[in-house]
Amino acid sequence: MSNLKTTLSSSLGKKIVMSLTGLFLCTFLIVHLIGNLQLFKDDNGLAFNAYAYTMTHFTPIKIVSYLLYASIIVHAMYALILTSMNKKARPVGYAQQNGNANSPWTSRNMGILGTILLIFIVIHMNNFWAQYHWADLPYAKYEVSLTDPADVKFTSIPFDGSKIAHTDYVDIEHGVKVLIAKDLYLIVGELFKQWWYVLLYVVSMVALAFHLFHGFRSAFQTLGWDHKKYVSAIRFIGEWGFGLLIPIAFAAMPLYFFFFK
């Protein structure tokens, strides 16, 4: 136990924890992206609101969400500690060769990129996660035809001071499947119509792209999982998947609502 404590308190131990939490957060990004892609469906938020309810009420997902919150806190905390340790160890800064630093720009600015992302996460969770849990949101009622799933009747139910339980049932008599849920899709639409929030979101996704571009591969190196047989695949996934495609997909959502909805 003492050996484990000593290892975790060391610089290498902190880097290992950061790598593990970082890779866990990368996994979450994939799941979160798949769910948020429902925003592109032209169904008045049916698929997205159903996804939002599942993510906040399905017990296994709720348990994983607590691990997610802990990972964000630990990842950010250890990043601050390691940045401070590195500055103390290298007070003069990085050596220069031919006018250029001998380390990648992303490596030298992971602290700045991480700070931008942390600020974004706090604002983002306040605007969506906190609103969904504690704000008096209106409700959305969907009636989906059992014979034609594309035939969806949508009704907005304003909040009138009374809580409405989430409902999901089949009405055989009227030939429809009924879903009543908090209308988080409405909040998304309202926020993504505000230029400052769209700008913040896109800038944060640019920061995410650079952060993942370096961080994904670095995590595998720290953990010793960068065997020459797999390094090309790791680099490809890190650069093209997490460093490019995922940030672009996330950034496309506010831009889609701002310009086309």
pLDDT by residue for the chain (261 residues), tens only, comes to: 555 556 566 788 888 999 999 999 999 999 999 999 999 999 999 999 999 998 888 888 888 888 999 999 999 888 888 877 777 766 555 444 444 555 676 666 777 888 899 999 999 999 999 999 898 899 999 999 999 998 999 999 998 888 888 889 999 999 999 999 999 999 999 999 999 999 999 999 999 999 998 889 889 988 888 778 888 999 899 989 999 999 999 999 999 999 998
Residues 93 and 149 placed together within one structural domain of the fold: no
Domain count, the chain: 2
- Residues contacting 153, CB < 8 A, separation 6+: 142, 143, 176
pLDDT at 97: 47
Task: Give the residue from 147, 164, 182 where a domain finishes.
Answer: 182
33: domain range?
A: 2-134+188-260
SS3 43: coil
Residues 27 and 148 placed together within one structural domain of the fold: no
Residues 194 and 157 placed together within one structural domain of the fold: no
Residues 62 and 178 placed together within one structural domain of the fold: no
DSSP 162: S
Residues 39 and 106 placed together within one structural domain of the fold: yes
pTM for the model: 0.86
Number of Cβ within 10 Å of residue 233's Cβ equals 9
